[in-house]
Structure 1
Amino acid sequence: MRIDIVFLIFLGFAVLMWLVALITKLFPARKPNSLYGYRTDRSMRNRRNWNYAQSLLPKMFFRVGLYHILLAALWSVLPPLNDSMGIMLFGLVLIAAFGLELYRSEYKLKKYSKERF
């Protein structure tokens, strides 16, 4: 197992995502606002959607952190690659992870908003 700067970036980002997940779990945004919380058109449409979206947000950040933990573990056992390749991989995984999680959350929110009270 090797520990280098890329491994530390993956690990540090995962810890940051888990801290954000914890903060959003403990202190969810109470009402729609322009600063804090899961803020998309669908989530801000009504209070019911907003509350549900805020319950999805910590899970989303936790999973993004988990993806980066898994990538850090994989990076540490792979044959050495150069740091710039690792940073590019980090960026790609970051974009893909947030894209996937945003898609999943919006799908759940769309399904939830169609349900009757």
Structure 2
Amino acid sequence: MVARSISFSLKPGRAAEFTKILDKDIIPVLRKQKGFQDTMALVAPGGADAVGISVWDLRENAETYARNAYAGVLKALEQVVDGTPRVQTYDVCNSTFHKTGAGVTA
């Protein structure tokens, strides 16, 4: 299982709109992707920064999403995001929400 973390700087006063776009446009796209498991969005107090975390069954499925659908996600967010989002992919080594393996393999 892997997680993609996407860090955003939000334009001033756009946190509520960011949340609406996630609900209306982005989460439905994620749910259609092969291997998608879960997502979580976090907005910092004051609304200047946000983080999106998506959980995938396999790295390959997360990479397919990144190649095929992620550009549409960026397009949907361009009115509320300031600058280029920063993306990192992690192996999930522990979760209280999802069953995981005993540890990360190198």
**Structure with larger RCO (C-alpha < 8 A, sep 6+):** 2
Asked if Structure 1 and Structure 2 have the same fold, meaning a TM-score greater than 0.5 normalized by the shorter chain, the answer is no
TM-score under structure 2 length normalisation: 0.33
TM-score of the superposed pair, with normalisation by structure 1: 0.31
Look at both structures and tell me which one has the larger radius of gyration over its CA atoms.
Answer: 1
Higher helix share: 1
